[in-house]
């Protein structure tokens, strides 16, 4: 991510946190129900119980709450580029493992059973398509079993100027260059899609 985009993103989301507090609005979701629906789709990637999970650009770690509420015993870790989000998580829920930093930096390494990303591609930046592909490739390198991520879809019937709407077909084709085991879901919301990528 270019430094100017990173700074703009941090400033944008820290401003939303100051305005809305720990709310779905802070993360750019129109309704809490849409955030929950996306989590439900991501969790269908496999049997998560007893697995290790990395939540990329985890926001306020709402994915952790979803997993725990559904009685899934997971070893959760988040990584987030917005320092104010990480401070909020550590204060409100100190039991959560979370790091602050850019997930794409070479220094961020590890291995998890499942790697998730929810809503991280929706803001348009200088190189949105390239950034999305770099992120997908890094997530896949870090997973033992599978990656699950979502994106706003190019088939959406409306778009905002600051939104990046990815092509489902283009995204699927890129994922197929990394693994032959790819599932594309575009059947739960008309403006959103989810992709599962498996090691085998």
Task: Give the model confidence (pLDDT) of 41-57 as tens digits.
Answer: 999 999 999 999 999 99
CB 98 within 8 A of CB 90: yes
Structure tokens at 123: 């803001």
Residues 27 and 120: their CA atoms lie apart, in Å, by 9
DSSP states of 47-80: --TT-EEEEET-TTTHHHHHHHHTT---EEEEEE
List the pLDDT tens digit at each of the 200 positions of the chain.
667 777 878 887 787 788 777 877 777 776 778 899 999 999 999 999 999 999 999 999 999 999 999 878 999 999 999 999 999 999 999 999 999 999 999 899 999 999 999 999 988 888 899 999 999 999 999 999 999 999 999 999 887 878 899 999 999 999 999 999 999 999 999 999 999 999 98
Residues 25 and 16: their CA atoms lie apart, in Å, by 8
Q: For the chain, which residues make up each domain, given as ranges?
A: 3-198
Residues 155 and 151: their CA atoms lie apart, in Å, by 11
Q: For the whole model, what pTM was predicted?
A: 0.93
* Terminal Cα-to-Cα distance of the chain (whole angstroms): 29
> Closest Cα partner for 85 from 160, 28, 164, 21?
21
Specify whether domain 3-198 bears CATH 3.40.50.300: no
Task: Give the model confidence (pLDDT) of 125-134 as tens digits.
Answer: 888 999 999 9
Task: Give the model confidence (pLDDT) of 181-193 as tens digits.
Answer: 999 999 999 999 9
């Amino acid at each position: 991510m270019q430094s100017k985009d990173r700074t703009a993103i941090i400033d944008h989301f820290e401003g939303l946190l100051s305005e809305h507090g720990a709310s779905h609005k802070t993360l750019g979701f129109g309704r809490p129900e849409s955030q929950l629906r996306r989590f439900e789709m991501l969790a269908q990637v496999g049997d998560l119980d007893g697995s290790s999970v990395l939540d990329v650009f985890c926001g306020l770690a709402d994915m952790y709450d979803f997993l725990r509420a559904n009685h899934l015993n997971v070893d959760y870790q988040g990584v987030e580029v917005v320092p104010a989000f990480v401070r909020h998580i550590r204060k409100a829920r100190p039991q959560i493992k979370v790091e602050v930093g850019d997930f794409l930096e070479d220094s961020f390494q590890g291995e998890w059973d499942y790697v998730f990303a929810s809503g991280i591609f929706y803001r348009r930046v200088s190189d949105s398509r390239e950034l999305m592909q770099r992120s997908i490739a890094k997530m896949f390198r870090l997973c033992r079993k599978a990656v699950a991520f979502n994106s706003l879809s190019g088939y959406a019937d409306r778009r905002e100027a600051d939104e990046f709407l990815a092509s489902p077909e283009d995204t699927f084709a890129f994922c197929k260059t990394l693994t032959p085991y790819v599932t594309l879901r575009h059947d739960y919301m008309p403006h959103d899609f989810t992709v599962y990528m498996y090691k085998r």
